Amino acid sequence: MRQFIIKTGLLFINFYINNMEMGGFAKNVMLLFKNFYFRLFYSRKINPTVRFYGRGIILRGGDITIGEDSTVNNYVILNATHSQIVIGKKCRISDGVKITALGLDDSKKHISSPVVIEDNVWLGMGCIILPGVKIGQNSIIGAGAVVTKDVASNVVAAGVPAKIIRQLDESL
């Protein structure tokens, strides 16, 4: 019943934001309410400076941590069922990103492993982060990439499966 109430409330908020003609102030108030709603019902580990933009954001499972000044955009799915997802400070999660800590191994048995995304990481549109992955600081994951293994700090990774395509200057 609690899940039904939470999902119904979120559907109402998204419908109201996207379908009602509101001026800048009214829309900003509704977006602030949406951010508060996420923190209240989904996790107490979401920093107050995190911003949720757009609609269709799904946070599944209880152990999701998001650091300060991070942003989460349209149609993002964070699935921490039976494990955890930790997202560091100043991370940018673009539209359509899927991060899951639950999956299947080679013998089709369910596995769950934590996903760790360190500080200042940019996840490009539509990328998929699979269970057990750690993404290092200041890294960029290209749009549409499927990250199956750990990614080092200060790199650009892209492709299916994601491979390092460029080293970034650490001073940036």
Q: What CATH number does the domain containing 114 carry?
A: 2.160.10.10
Same structural domain, 1 and 74: no
Same structural domain, 106 and 154: yes
Residue 172 maps to a domain: no
Q: 12 — phi, psi (to 5°)?
A: -60, -45
Same structural domain, 1 and 64: no
Residues 81-133: tens digit of each pLDDT: 888 999 999 999 999 999 999 888 888 888 889 999 999 999 999 999 999 99
- pTM for the model stands at 0.75
pLDDT at 140: 96
Same structural domain, 90 and 18: no
The beta strand positions in 57-105, using DSSP E, are 58-60, 64-66, 71-72, 77-79, 85-87, 92-93, 98-100, 102-104
Residues 59-78: tens digit of each pLDDT: 887 688 899 999 999 899 99
Cis-peptide, bond into residue 161, ω within 30° of zero: yes
Same structural domain, 22 and 85: no
Residues 30-54: tens digit of each pLDDT: 566 666 665 555 545 788 888 888 7
Same structural domain, 60 and 4: no
